[in-house]
Each structure stands twice: as structure tokens, then as C-alpha cells.
Structure 1
Amino acid sequence: MARSYEHPGEYGTQDPVRLLGIRDTPLSVDEVFRSVGDDAAGGIALFVGTVRDHDGGADVAGLGYSSHPTAEAELRRVVEKVVAEYPVRALAAVHRVGDLAIGDVAVIVAVACPHRAEAFDACRKLIDDLKSEVPIWKHQTFSDGAEEWVGAH
């Protein structure tokens, strides 16, 4: 559950959304981290989601992500909701689409806030809402030849 903050957004007038995108090229933790640097932020929380080698007890051989044409607009809506709820100084969110291998980076989000607790809370809200609300779907293939779609409703 999100904490209550007295004055979200009061810490500056510059747009805190510094980096946003859905890309078919590899993602960079350094790029995301650099994009949220802010002298007034006492805490930066960064989450990196990678492709794991198993799911539901089955060995994953690889996967592909695809997105709806509205995905980036939905991502913008999600990040603006986080900015409205928390005292965000800077925020970044990028998600990869296309075919990925085990160990590849699939998503990176980062939030800079005046204090660490706010940064952790905002980062958790950002990744949770991104995963549940942005129309990006995962097509997994397993080592036994089976496959499944994840996130397609």
C-alpha cells in the first residue's frame, strides 16, 4: 500500500519523467540511472527485471515480448499516476520488446525521491502498475517445446 505524502510534486516544476519508452533494442541500467540523477534526491530506487530460466516449474528456453500500439501511452499514464502520488524528483521506465534470451534485461524502472522510503515505495508502485496495466505480453517457449502467452487477457 502506498504511503501518504503531504505534498507530492512540490519539489520542483521540471517534468520528473526523464526517460520513458518501449524499445526493441537492449536496455541500459547506466542510461536509466543517469537519467534520474537529481541533486535534491536523497534516494534512488532502481528495479531491473531479467529473463529467468524457469517459470512455474518448467525450464524456459526463451521468450518474446510484444506490445499493443497504445502501450507507450499507457506507460505514460502509469508513470504520471506515480508522480502524482509520491514526491518524485525524477523517474524513468523502459521495457524491451522482441525476442530475448535467458539473462537479458526486459524492464528497468527507477525513481528518485527526497528520501529512500519514498523512492522504494514509488519504485514498487511503478513496476507493479507497469506489469499489471501496460499492454505488453510475454510469449514463453519451454525446453520441452511447449509455449504460453503471459499477460494476454
Structure 2
Amino acid sequence: MGSKHAVDLGLHTCTYKRWQLSGIPCVHAICAIKFKKQKATLYYDDYLMPSSYLESYNPIIYPIAREDDWEPVDYPIAPPPFKVQPGRPKMKRHKEPGEKEKAPPPPAPKEGKLPKTGIKMSCKICGQQGHNKLDCPVTKAKKAAATVSS
């Protein structure tokens, strides 16, 4: 069922190519190593060994000094020159973190005026919903009668 791959333990290669890519022996190499009754850790790449890991972190990296320990500077430090970015400028400004509070509620509607949201259209002539006075069947009938009589 499975495929066959050639393993060379001396060169650390396998035709499956996974061992060469990762540095860790593939399944086929592990079978060959177990057949030879050897340890698989002997065939890992050197960079995977704990000694290599500890050697890479051997030089001590000292933390940055606090602001009190900085040397004072005699010359003024200017910001970098301003460069106009391409594109249309933004109309809204970026708010500060403390400014991002909820906006105040909208003012209460004046007497006699209601907001248009959520209200269905209604005709002023017949009072039915779904059309206005321009599309009213009553006015259309009156116009049709006026054109027929004239």
C-alpha cells in the first residue's frame, strides 16, 4: 500500500525529502535508525540540539537604561520633515482615547414634527398608505375624466 523510499543514514538523506527540509529524520529514516538499533537524536541537525540553542543566547543582552540615566542633549531635536501624503485628505480627525465616549442623544423632536424613519408613506387626499398624492388613484381618475371631457 505505502510507497518505498531510499534512506542514506551516512549522508542524512531520504528520497522523501522531509529529512533534508526540516533537519528532523522522517518516518522512513526513523525506521532505518531503529533497524540499526541506534538513537534518533544522533541524526538530528546540530541547530536542533540544546547546546546550539544555549550557545545562540550566550551573549548577555543588557536592558536599556532608564530615562534618568540618559545623557542630556544640547541641540534641539526637530521632528522629521512633513511630507504631504498622496490622495484626498481625511475629513474626520482621529479622536484621543479619552474622547471616544458615546455621543449625546439626539435632541427631542419639536412639537408637530416627527422623524421620517420608520414611517410609511400615506396619501394626503385619500389617507391610504403605500402611495402619495401624485400616485393617488383618486387624482388619476379625476385627471382621466378631465382629459376625456375636454
TM-score range, shorter chain: under 0.3
Q: TM-score, normalised on structure 1?
A: 0.18
Which structure has the larger Rg over C-alpha atoms? 2
The structure whose RCO (Cα within 8 Å, separation 6+) is larger is 1
- Richer in helix (by share): 2
- Richer in strand (by share): 1
